[in-house]
Amino acid sequence: MAVTRQQDKATVPDRTPTSVRLAISATDDFSPGLKGFAERVRSLVVGLGITARRSVSRPVTLKYPAEKVELSPRWRGALRLTGVLGREDVALIEGPASDYNGLIDDLYRHDRLPPCVGNCPANVDARGQSFLLADDRAAEAYELVRARNILPGVLGRICHHPCESACKRTYYDEPIAIRPLHRVAFERYAEHRAERVAPLPVTREERIAIIGSGPSGLAAAFDLMHAGFEVHVYEKEHAAGGALLSGVPAYRLPRDVLATEIADLQTMGMKLLTGVRIGTDVPIDHLIGEYDAVLIAAGLQVSRMLPVPGSDAQGIWGALDFLKAGNWKGGCGVKGRRVLVIGGGNVAVDCARVALRCGAAQVTLSSLESMDELPAHPWEIEEALDEGVIAMCSYGPKEVLVENGRVAGMRLQSCLSVFDAQGRFAPVFAEEFTDVPADVIVFAIGQAPQLAELVSGSDLVLTERGLLPVDGALMTTQVPGVFACGEVVTGPGSAIASVASGHEAATSIIRYLDGRSLSEGRVYRPVPVYPRYQPATLTGVEPARRRTVMPMAKGADRARDFRQVELGFTHLEGLAEAARCLRCASEVCVGCTFCARTCPDYAITVERIDDPGHRSVTRYDLDLSKCCFCGLCAEQCPTGALRHTGQYELSFYHRDFAVFDRHEMVRSPEGSRATGADCRGCGDAR
């Protein structure tokens, strides 16, 4: 506050406190003598005139009931509770991929989109997942998640979980562990896989070719198969997975998880053609002629290198090549050597951690940004530091020190600031240099597509920078029937964003093959903005309310090989974590008790059964005689189940103890309790 006050002083000319009005003075007195007598009589007459005038004006009160009382649009009456967990289920967000955006948009417009779903690029129904998992319906949960993120087991390990950053529970205590719950669902799905994964019926004649089997390609394939098309996926490597396979280290994503989920897709009917390099093995024109639609989901294949002196020396690696080598060959010649990784992103951190696992003697991560500004996810950085990666922040690469054609080290220059006042990239360097000895230098400063070979011989034309011009919303290229998605379109990004673009491409292809306009009537994914809450204070939070901690392998142990770092939840932990979900915006009371906790007057009591695997509200007591109508409870309610009714007067006539216990809560539709939970036709505020 002190801050704003000073601003006021600085920016606004202060009006001097001298403008004083002497309002009352002796002139208010009546004059002496006869004149005063006249003034006195006049004052009486004036008064009578005012009252007379008012008496013929229209009354300000209403003739009830002839004149209806118009209540203000925003008014606070008694509380009402709409749904109750145990009686009503949380609605799942499900729909065909081509209409899914419309569904999300509608929910968002009606304020019923939970933040986790809204913040996910692919709008995975995390709320529904938690609901089903807490109900021990893991198979359904898995399939619900798979409908949108295609590879729950994979993304359950590697996703950067924007859902969790938006989780409303952050505001109350800690976010729900949504990503680990994907993994739980995946692991529990193993027992159902045989019976539940079946070939999808092919109902359409058209065939579609997808180039690339990365997340976006697979997502598009999944949607198209569900729409009844025959899908052929071309992959230049000998195994499917794209960047998931070559770019993601195995300690984060075990190979068998990826293989299982791709195998599921194949069981559903996806035809996978590995080892086919489009452009060289098969010209793309051939595909365009052969198939009714072609989707380019080739991703980014080459690492960008820095044009610093000496960058052609032996021992310089691009990040992708390094990761590929590390992942597949289990070593890239760094055993016992010193590795310097240039870059501050997630790929750089991956490179550093892979280098450690390949036996590097010392791994240094050098970034231009300071520790706080690093673009990599903070948990990744933390894990890397745990494992022994040395971070050198705020250094820019100046020159590679070369000895005999081999890398000997790197000269780094101190960086004062990376971004200017407007937030643009404009690094400012100090004249300070540091030499870091290194045997291997990995540039992890970005990736670029390599499409020239792919598109050769077709009508597709690349831009000067080697990019494929694509309409970012419709995923179309210059050639009708050829679409593109994934990082080719979006640039370097997250796996879940690639999946999202795959869904968009699939929608476009379906519309294209249906002969409909691609854009007409199409709903684009809403981009909701949710408040970023400061982390809640955790003092006094009961252990049962806390987030389940992901068990991790010990830092020193795990850095030696490619075993998984995150060990996963047990069955019970998974159930308990899923039960923590507040089921935001569902309008079903889940007994989170935050209304009772925030009530200043102890007017609310919530009782619930909260065992892992079983969760329901058993009793909701609202003592209206204590309620002070402050509205804090309704404001706190994450689900929107508790809110104020419109019946302001009723709230006073019925200030009694309203108990909703489980049997009573199931009321007849025409019920008219004081709280008006089911009252119709009285102009409810909503």
Partner 1 sequence: MAVSVESRNLVSAPDGGSREELVVNVGPSHPSTHGVGRVIVHLDGDIVVKAEPVIGYLHRGIEKMAENRTYLQVVPLTDRLDYVGSMYANWAYCRAVERLAGIAVPERAEYLRVIVCELQRIASHMMGIGASAADTGAFTFFIYAFDQRERIIELFERLCGARLTYNYVRPGGVSFDAPQGWTQDVLAFTKAFRAAAADLDRLFFGNVIARGRMKGIGVLSADDAVAWGASGPTARASGVNWDLRKHDPYSVYPRMDFDVVVGERGDAYDRGRCRLLECVESCRIIDQAISQMHPGPVRTEGLPRLLQPRPGEAYDHIESARGSLGVYLVSDGSVRPYRMHVRSPAFCNLALLPLLAEGHTLSDLVVVLGSLDPVFGEVDR
Partner 2 sequence: MSAAASFGWGALYGLGASLVIAVAALFGVWAERKVAARIQMRYGPLEAGPFGLLQTLADTIKLVLKEDVTPNSADVPVFRIMPFLVFVPCAAALVVVPFAAGWTPFGIEAGALFFLAVPGMSVLGILLAGWSSRNTYASIGGVRAAAQMVSYELPRSLSVLALCLLAGSLDPGVIRAEWSWWWLPLMAIGFVVYFIASIAELNRGPFDLPEAESELVAGYFADYSGIRWAIFMMAEYGGLVAASLFGAGVFFGGGFGLPGPVGAVVFVALAVAMTICMVWAKWTFPRLRPDQLMSFAWKVLTPMALGQLALVGLVLPWL
Partner 3 sequence: MTPDEMAALLERITAHNPRLHPLFSLEFGDAVVGVERAELFATAADLRDAGFDRLGMVTAVDRDEVFVLVYRLHSRSLSAAIFLKTLVPRDDAWVASLVELWPAALWQEREVFDLFGIHFEGHPDLRRILLPDDFVGHPLRKDYDDPRLIRRPDYI
Contact partner at residue 59 from partner 3, partner 1, partner 2, none, CB < 5 to 8 Å by partner kind? partner 2
58 interacts with partner 1 by CB under 8 A: no
Q: How far is the CB of 86 from partner 2 (least distance, A)?
A: 48
Closest to partner 1 by CB, 75 or 433: 75
Q: How far is the CB of 179 from partner 1 (least distance, A)?
A: 22
Select from 12, 22, 56, 544 the one that contacts partner 2 (CB under 8 A): 56
Q: How far is the CB of 579 from partner 1 (least distance, A)?
A: 20
Count of alpha carbons within 13 angstroms of residue 471, beta-carbon side: 15
Residue 544: closest CA among 572, 585, 571? 572
Q: How far is the CB of 12 from partner 1 (least distance, A)?
A: 5
- The whole-angstrom separation of Cα 227 and Cα 509 is 10
Contact partner at residue 602 from partner 3, partner 2, partner 1, none, CB < 5 to 8 Å by partner kind? partner 3
Q: How far is the CB of 594 from partner 3 (least distance, A)?
A: 9
For residue 486, the 8-state DSSP code is T
Structure tokens at 516: 């409909």
Contact partner at residue 531 from partner 2, partner 3, partner 1, none, CB < 5 to 8 Å by partner kind? partner 1
**Region from 2-10, 51-59, 155-163, 371-379 binding partner 3, contact rule CB under 8 A:** 2-10
Q: C-alpha angle with apex 540: 661 to 377, nearest 5 degrees?
A: 105
Give the per-residue contact string, 534-563, with partner 1 (x = CB under 8 A; - = no).
Answer: xxxx-xx-----------------------
Closest to partner 1 by CB, 2 or 34: 2
75 interacts with partner 1 by CB under 8 A: yes
Contact partner at residue 52 from partner 3, partner 1, partner 2, none, CB < 5 to 8 Å by partner kind? partner 2
Cis amide linkage into residue 612, ω under 30° from 0: no
- The whole-angstrom separation of Cα 617 and Cα 633 is 17
Contact partner at residue 311 from partner 1, partner 3, partner 2, none, CB < 5 to 8 Å by partner kind? none
Torsion of CA 638, 642, 643, 646, to 10 degrees: 160
Closest to partner 2 by CB, 62 or 556: 62
11 interacts with partner 2 by CB under 8 A: no
4 CB neighbour count, 10 Å cutoff: 8
Burial 27-58 (b: 16+ CB within 10 A, else e): eeeeeeeeeeeeeeeeeeeeeeeeeeeeeeee
Select from 52, 542, 668, 681 the one that contacts partner 3 (CB under 8 A): 542
Residue 488: closest CA among 526, 454, 445? 454
48 interacts with partner 2 by CB under 8 A: yes
3 interacts with partner 2 by CB under 8 A: no
Select from 636, 671, 673, 684 the one that contacts partner 1 (CB under 8 A): 636
Structure tokens at 540: 């006094």
Structure tokens at 497: 């964003």
* Spacing of C-alpha 231 from chain mean position: 29
Looking only at residues 57 through 116 of this chain, which bind partner 2 when binding is defined by CB under 8 A? 57-61, 63
- The whole-angstrom separation of Cα 636 and Cα 169 is 11
632 interacts with partner 1 by CB under 8 A: yes
The full DSSP string for 108-175 is HHTT---HHHHHSTT---HHHHHHHHHTT-HHHHHHHHHHHHS-HHHHHHH---HHHHH-THHHHS--
Q: Tokens 């969760």 map to which residue? A: 615
- The whole-angstrom separation of Cα 359 and Cα 187 is 31
- The whole-angstrom separation of Cα 113 and Cα 589 is 16
Q: How far is the CB of 37 from partner 2 (least distance, A)?
A: 9
Q: How far is the CB of 421 from partner 1 (least distance, A)?
A: 20
3 state SS of 567: coil
Instruction: Name the residues that contact partner 1, by CB under 8 A.
Output: 1-5, 8-9, 12, 14-15, 17, 19-26, 28-30, 39-41, 43-44, 46-47, 50-51, 54, 60, 72-76, 171-172, 531-537, 539-540, 598, 600, 628-632, 635-636, 644
Instruction: Name the residues that contact partner 2, by CB under 8 A.
Output: 44, 47-48, 50-52, 54-61, 63
